[in-house]
Amino acid sequence: MLNWIKPFLEIPDTFILNHCSLDGFLFLRYLKVLRNLFFVGCLIACPILIPVHITGGRGLKGLDLLTIGNVNDSRKFCAHVVVATLWFSKAPRGTIFEQDPLMTPGFVLLMIVRECLYYINLRIAYASSPLHSQQLSSRTMLLTHVPNRYRNESCLRRLFGTSVKRVWIPKTSKILTALIKERKQVASKLEKAEIELIVKSNKAHNKGPNFHSIPPPMAFSTPSATNNSTVGNYPGNLDLPVPDIRESARVPSIPEGARPHHRVWSRLGCKIDTISWARSRIKHLNTQISKSRYQLCQAPESIIPAAFVEFDTQQSAHAAHQKLAHHKPRQLARHLGIRPSDMSWQSLTMGWRERVARRLFIYGLIVAAIILWSFPTAAIGVASNVEFLSEKVPFLGWIRQMPKRLLRLLEGFVPALVLTLWIAVVPALLRCMTPSISTIFFMSSDTNCSSSLRRSGWCFVTEHG
């Protein structure tokens, strides 16, 4: 379990960058920052605070002797102020440490500033690297909340100048989306039925009487110099009959009743062959999708308020990204470097008012969840005080008669375990909620990455709120 510690301390950053993604590298970098903060904090705090706590004068015993609760003289708390100043932040104004240059910056703030500068340099180096700069997404800008007057190629070219190479204005159609979704579902059902048929056929073939018999050798003729034909009676002959595609799903060893079937419309409908129905349905859907795509190209009213603008160079794309495109807020919002796999295509059809309304609704749900989540958390905290409960609630007096080891377990380990499990429910609950209501509430982000980042923030707020 601890084999990762030595490589974590020895592997250089360049090796990780060449063999890992930026997300993984920055996560390891974050762990190293926490390691540095921990060790420096121990070096600063332990030599100063532990002697102060031991000589505090309260008379505590055991490990309590090392805590701040053993300090009886309030003047000794100045040591905690000095340690906090050295480790975390700058010295407060009006104190004797304000004039000391060594006491002005704290180690935590220095680490934060250092990592911010490192991240800026890393981002510039990654953006200018050939791996990123040669990608199409690095010089393509996404525009959202596009007004009606800018929803054509000529206006966008006049807006961003001669550096524009290509412009894509996407369109949408509910009918086409529904047809494509149905085709995916039918294709998935066909794949499952084909696999089920193959498994049944393989089992029936293995149980056959001639399964272990050796087939006779196939005769083949060698082409001679007098024979110009190279087609012989050997395996791979192009003249062999090709099975009919319509009959390829027919397996002689499987009876019709054992083939995959399903009911039409409901459980009360008649059963039909799944493979035959799915193939004919996919063929029909392909025709309908082709017609819908042709109609979509001819329909100008299906244009959505978004556009993709490709520039000739990456520098031109970054310059256009910094340009003030519209005088009204939230109009022509610009996004750079978005990959197609990270796009939330359904969110492009929303206007900025709808996005704001959905975000406000989500924030209201999060606040309500924080309030509701606080009651069970408080109940777990109250339940950890067994003596208090046994005194206030008469019928719980039998708890005090339990063995002391079991009481300590109930007061210390069990509440912490229950609270950990209760808090762990929050991310799982939000992950389960996201697919079901993403089309209603969680589509306020243009990319899946920003949506995941916002969901992580909601998890943090709900857990620690």
CATH of the domain at 153: 3.30.70.330
Regarding whether 325 and 385 lie in a shared domain, the answer is no
> 150 lies in a domain?
yes
Flag whether 19 is in a domain: yes
Residue 366's domain spans which residues? 352-464
User: Rounded to whole angstroms, what are the CA distances from 440 to 433, 437, 459?
Assistant: 11, 5, 19
**Same-domain check for residues 365 and 412:** yes
pLDDT of residue 38: 92
> Bridge-partner residues for 167, per DSSP?
309
Indicate whether 425 belongs to any domain: yes
Question: 382 and 447 share a domain?
Answer: yes
Dihedral pair phi/psi, residue 325, rounded to 5°: -85, -25
Pair (106, 140) in one structural domain = no
Read off φ and ψ for residue 217, nearest 5 degrees: -65, 145
**Which of these three, 311, 338, 365, is where a domain ends?**
338
Residue 361 lies in a domain: yes
Per residue of the chain (465 residues), what is the pLDDT tens digit?
A: 678 888 888 888 888 888 888 888 998 999 999 999 999 999 999 999 999 998 888 888 878 888 888 888 888 889 998 898 888 865 445 544 455 444 445 788 889 989 999 999 998 888 888 888 888 888 999 998 888 888 888 999 998 988 999 999 888 888 888 999 999 999 999 999 999 988 888 888 787 655 444 454 444 444 444 444 444 443 444 444 444 444 445 566 677 778 888 887 666 667 888 898 999 999 999 999 999 988 888 877 678 888 999 999 998 999 998 888 788 888 888 888 888 777 777 778 777 788 888 878 877 877 887 788 788 888 887 777 777 777 777 777 777 777 877 777 777 778 888 888 887 777 677 666 554 444 444 445 556 666 666 666 666 665 555
Question: Domain check: are 319 and 413 in the same one?
Answer: no
pTM here?
0.61
Looking at the fold, whether 166 and 307 belong to one and the same domain comes out as yes
Alpha carbon distance 120, 115 (integer Å): 9
CB-based contacts of 285, cutoff 8 Å, min separation 6: 179, 182, 183, 186
> DSSP letter at 261?
E
What are the residue ranges of helices labelled H in 384-447?
Answer: 386-392, 404-408, 414-437
If asked whether residues 44 and 86 sit together in one domain, one would say yes
Q: Assess if residue 249 is contained within a domain.
A: no
- 419 and 332, same structural domain? no
In a domain, 278, yes or no: no
For residue 144, which of 350, 339, 300, 439 has the smallest C-alpha distance?
350
* Cα-based distances in Å from 213 to 206, 216, 218, 344: 12, 9, 15, 57
Number of domains observed in the structure of the chain: 3
The answer to whether 198 and 187 have CB atoms below 8 angstroms apart is no
Length of the chain, please?
Answer: 465
Whether 187 is in a domain gets the answer: no
Pick the closest to residue 258 from 244, 269, 274, 247 (CA basis).
Answer: 274
Burial (Cβ within 10 Å: 0-12, 13-18, ≥19) of residue 285 = middle
3-class DSSP assignment, residue 414 = helix
Q: Give the E-state strand segments of 147-275 in sequence order.
A: 164-168, 261-263, 271-273
Say if 70 falls within a structural domain. Answer: yes
Query: Is the domain of 40 the same as that of 18?
Result: yes
